[in-house]
Amino acid sequence: MGGIVRKSGYSARTQLLAAFVVVALILGGGGSPNPWTEIALEIVFVAFALAWAWLPQRESSLGPTSSDRLALVLVAVPLVVPIVQLVPLPPSIWTGLPGRENAVAALSLVGQQATWRPISLSPSRTLASLLSIVPAVFCLYAVSRLNLSERRIIIGTVFVMAIVTALLGAVQVVSGGRGLNFYPQHHIGWVTGFQANRNATADILLSGFLALAALAAPHLVGGRRRHPLGLNNRALSVLAGATALFLLAATMMTGSRTGIALVLVAGTGALLLFFVTRDTSRFSTRRGSLVFAAAVVWALLGVAFWALSDVTAASRVALRFADFETPRTEIWKDTWFALKQYWPAGFGLGGFEPAMLPAERLEVLVPQVPNRAHNDFLEIALEAGLLGCAMVGAALILCIVLAWRAWRAVPAMRGQVIFGLAVLLVVALHSIVDYPLRSMALACLSGVAAGMLVRYRVSADRQTALGADQDLKGLA
């Protein structure tokens, strides 16, 4: 009886996490111009976290592995900066930090210059940033506690939400941007789905494309005999191929230039997923045909995009690639100037806007307030200073170490490791010219991807590696 209770409880945790991922991808896409849905997501998160803590977890005779401990460190890394920046410091310390002169002068007018103050010059914004990070950290931790079969359910959830996003985006494009948009400020006339920003939508669609490859590969080249919906190999291949093309076409119609360029990264990740999950006894005779089929798909995508260049929607995408004039380079220059004023302490997480306004050059002023640097790494350096840069480096190293350990110790995990790394790579590369991690939806998705890198306990891994067939019954 005890074993049955533990099993159902753990299954309930998996379903709970899948439900939270759905809610996060729906409510977490508004960004700072649309804060109400993010507040709603944070409130919902509290309920999910309490339910997760209340549900029983699986007992194990195994103690925590080194990967478990590293995963806890990775969970803590994103929380370090905002917590440190909110700790009150004596006036002898905080008044000596770079860029605090104006704050000291203003507080002197009311006799408050000798009070204890945190590093952050905008504590309320830093606290808001901390609250927005916690759900993503929860996703990372929760996924790391699931076994391999349960993680496939979460990957399946990402795939389903990408399909729903693409279908919703098709309606948005057909309606000319006049229907089914969830935010007052959004990109009009493009596929945005549940996001206000088309760049975030592109990343979600590419993650769904990678999720499709992770789910289909074990059936098409991994030697599994049981196929979803009872389909044979040929029918499943056609269905998976058509779905992949649909997701890639939806990515094109976001109009996100970097998102479209990242199709190459996602496509490479998908090919690697098929390669590492192959059944060598069957794959050796089919490798050439698979490579040829991939080349044909890429060629057809290029031809289709060129042929549709005269169609209204596709031509607008093509025109975006013809126009590379962007104010982002000017924003980067001003951000770099502001960064130097507050280095190495930083202004405070979430404080880009008040830090940036005094740094804008008059010759490049525009009516819109620069709320983002359009380069997440540069923005982190401005807001979080040297500590933030160190935490980004630590997170990168931890992800690589966790992935390497899982890759070497558990061959059955390699597909999930590639999925996690590919999603994180897409987000990281997009962060060079945008701010995907400032979206709570993408932050939670990145947490899911990072959780996939954590090696699960040996007993479950051995069972999977020995050939236990743990298919996704929920998607079958």
| pLDDT tens-digit series, residues 44-65 | 999 999 998 888 766 443 344 5
Closest CA to 22 of 183, 194, 223: 194
Does residue 475 lie in a domain region?
Answer: no
Task: Compare 431 and 186 and report the one with higher pLDDT.
Answer: 431
Does residue 187 lie in a domain region?
Answer: yes
User: Tokens 């006339």 appear where?
Assistant: 189
Closest CA to 3 of 54, 58, 52, 62: 58
**Burial of 58 per CB tally in 10 Å (0-12, 13-18, 19+):** middle
Task: Compare 422 and 456 and report the one with higher pLDDT.
Answer: 422
- Looking at the structure of the chain, the number of domains it has is 1
Does residue 474 lie in a domain region?
Answer: no
- This prediction's pTM: 0.85
Does residue 246 lie in a domain region?
Answer: yes
pLDDT digits (tens, 9 = 90+) for 342-363: 999 999 999 898 888 888 777 7
Does residue 473 lie in a domain region?
Answer: no
Average pLDDT over residues 319-323: 53
Contact 31, 196 (CB under 8 A): yes
pLDDT digits (tens, 9 = 90+) for 202-233: 999 999 999 999 998 887 775 565 666 666 67
| Sign of the torsion formed by the C-alpha atoms of 33, 37, 43 and 44 | negative
Q: Identify the pLDDT of residue 443.
A: 95
Does residue 259 lie in a domain region?
Answer: yes
Structural domain for 454, as ranges: 2-465
Contact 413, 455 (CB under 8 A): yes
Q: Identify the pLDDT of residue 6.
A: 40
pLDDT digits (tens, 9 = 90+) for 16-54: 999 999 999 999 888 777 788 889 999 999 999 999 888
Does residue 180 lie in a domain region?
Answer: yes
Does residue 189 lie in a domain region?
Answer: yes
Task: At 53, give phi and psi (nearest 5°).
Answer: -65, -30
Q: Identify the pLDDT of residue 309.
A: 44
Q: Identify the pLDDT of residue 223.
A: 58
pLDDT digits (tens, 9 = 90+) for 250-288: 898 888 888 999 999 999 999 888 888 765 444 444 444
- Name the band, by pLDDT with cuts 50, 70 and 90, for residue 245: confident
Average pLDDT over residues 78-94: 93
CA distance 27 to 50: 19
Helix or strand (DSSP H, E) at 373 = none
Counts for the chain of helices (H) and strands (E), in that order: 20, 0
Q: Which of 243-252, 281-290, 390-399, 449-458 has the lowest mean pLDDT?
A: 281-290
